[in-house]
Every structure is written in structure tokens, then in C-alpha cells.
Amino acid sequence: MGRSRRTLPEELLLLALDPTTGTTAQPQSLDLGLAGAQLVELALAGRIAPDGDRIAVVAPRPTGDPTLDCALELLRRRGAPVRAVNWIGGPRLGLRQTYLSHLERCGMVHAVEGQMCGVLPTTRYQATDTAISREIKARLDSAIRTGVPPDPRTAALAALAHAVGLGKHLYPGNEGRSSRSRLRDLIRHDPMGGLVAHAVMDVQNGAAAQPRRSPAPAGRQAAGPGARPAPEPARGVPAQPRHGSMARAAVH
């Protein structure tokens, strides 16, 4: 995969960055969204594919993106399709910082050193060219405004933005209510993006979802919410290694 095009994790992170404060909106759910965005990017590159509510590796060859290739290798090592909800809910230590450091190396953001409470060193990240973030958001605006089905990449970005709670950051206040609603509706335009977005929301809700079932046959009553089995634990998902500026605390 060439590096001329920004990846979905990078675009999601740029959308979440506040151009004034240098902090990221929805930092906790954003970490889940970045892990999900990696899955969508790998699917767009033809390396993985959905298998029900699971993710299967279909072409293990590297993409050329080190961070994506690390995720692809971890998926390959599992040896069997993994539930999207378990993958996204697994430990991803330092993933956000890895992408912030990458954006800094690419010149899209620059680090601003500071201190918390006058003691703890912190790092904020300011966009060096806000036109990039505006261009990314303009794609969402166009899909929302025109109602024309967006391309899979934009549809997946919209689904992830909704899943991590960026709607109020991108379209604030009462005047943004209809845009937030239409942003949510874009989730249906990309099956992989929809699968991943639902998995992100399931993890946030504390529900390691069981395989999505078809409606119960006539005459049989579907089990109610209280009958759901306990969440399946995420097994054997190694943590992302810390990189470079991980030693510094980032204020979000």
C-alpha cells in the first residue's frame, strides 16, 4: 500500500483533534475506534474480510504500512477468525500515540510540550495544516448534505466517527442535531464499516456481542437481554509496543 493516501486511522484521529486546544475528543472511545479503523483499512486493502461477526485473514502479505502490518500479523497469528468485538476490546496500549507520532513525522501535526500541575510533562498536538482536516470533514458534510451514497472509505469513516461519539464534536448544538442523525445513518452504506462500528459500540456498552442471530423461528421466543451469556474474554492479543514519544504524557 502506498503512503500517498491517508489511512482511516489517521483520518479519524485528525477529525478528533481540536485545532485550538490540541487535545482529542472522546479519547477513550477513540482508542477503540482506531483499532476498528485498522480493520476497515485492512479490509479495503483486501487483506481481511468479514466472516459473520468475525474477521478472517484472506491475504497475509504486508501492506507496506508498519502499524497496519503489525495488526495484520497479530490477526494471522490467531490462526482462526476472531470476533471483531474481542479484537477491538483487546489491549491496544499506545495505539493513539503511535498514530500521533506518525502524523508528527509526516508534518501533519506538531508537538507542543507543556506541564500538568506545573510538574508532569505533557504533550499536545496541533494540526500544522487545518486544510487537511477540513477536507476530511468536507467529505462527511457532502455525504450528509446530498444524501448520495458515499464511497466505502467515507462511509466507514462516518460509521467510525459516529461509533466513537464524534458527532457532537463535528456537529455541535441543536443546529447540528439533524447532521448527527444523518451521520449515524451513513453506517448502513459499508458492511465492514458497519460491522466494526457496531463492535466499537458493543465494547463501550460492555457487551462482548454473541454472533448476530437471525430472527427466531415462528413459535419460538427469542431470549431476552438478561439471558445473554457472559462476554467472551479477549485472548492472546498482544499489546502494541510503545514508540518514541510514548514516554511523554499526552493530555487529551
pLDDT at 174 over 50: yes
What cell was used for 183? 451521520
- Which of residues 220 and 88 earns the better pLDDT score? 88
C-alpha cell at 117: 500541575
Instruction: Give yes or no for residue 210 having a pLDDT over 70.
Output: no
* Euclidean distance between CA atoms 9 and 15, whole angstroms: 10
Q: Are 161 and 25 in contact (CB under 8 A)?
A: no
**Helix-then-strand count for the chain, H and E:** 10, 6
pLDDT in tens, 12-59: 999 999 877 778 888 889 999 999 999 999 999 999 999 999 999 999
CA distance 178 to 190: 21
User: Confidence band (pLDDT; 50, 70, 90) for 234?
Assistant: very low
Sign of the dihedral through C-alpha 155, 156, 157, 163: positive
CB 123, CB 111: distance < 8 Å: yes
Kindly provide the residue ranges of all beta strands, DSSP E only, lying in 82-173, ordered along the sequence. Answer: 82-83, 109-116, 120-127
Helix (H, G, I), strand (E, B) or coil at 164: coil
- Of the chain, the percentage scoring pLDDT greater than 70 comes to 78
Q: What is the pTM of this model?
A: 0.77
Instruction: Quote the pLDDT of residue 207.
Output: 62
Chain CA centroid to CA 115, Å: 29
pLDDT band of residue 71 (cuts 50, 70, 90) is: very high
Separation between Cα atoms, residue 196 and residue 156, nearest integer Å: 9
2 pLDDT band (50/70/90 cuts)? very low
Q: Does the pLDDT of residue 224 top 60, yes or no? A: no
Residue 5 or 252, more confident = 5
- The answer to whether the beta carbons of residues 188 and 194 sit under 8 Å apart is yes
CA–chain centroid gap for 65, Å, is 17
Q: What is the rounded average pLDDT of the residues 142-153?
A: 90
- The pLDDT assigned to 118 comes to 66
- According to the model, what pLDDT value does residue 21 have? 77
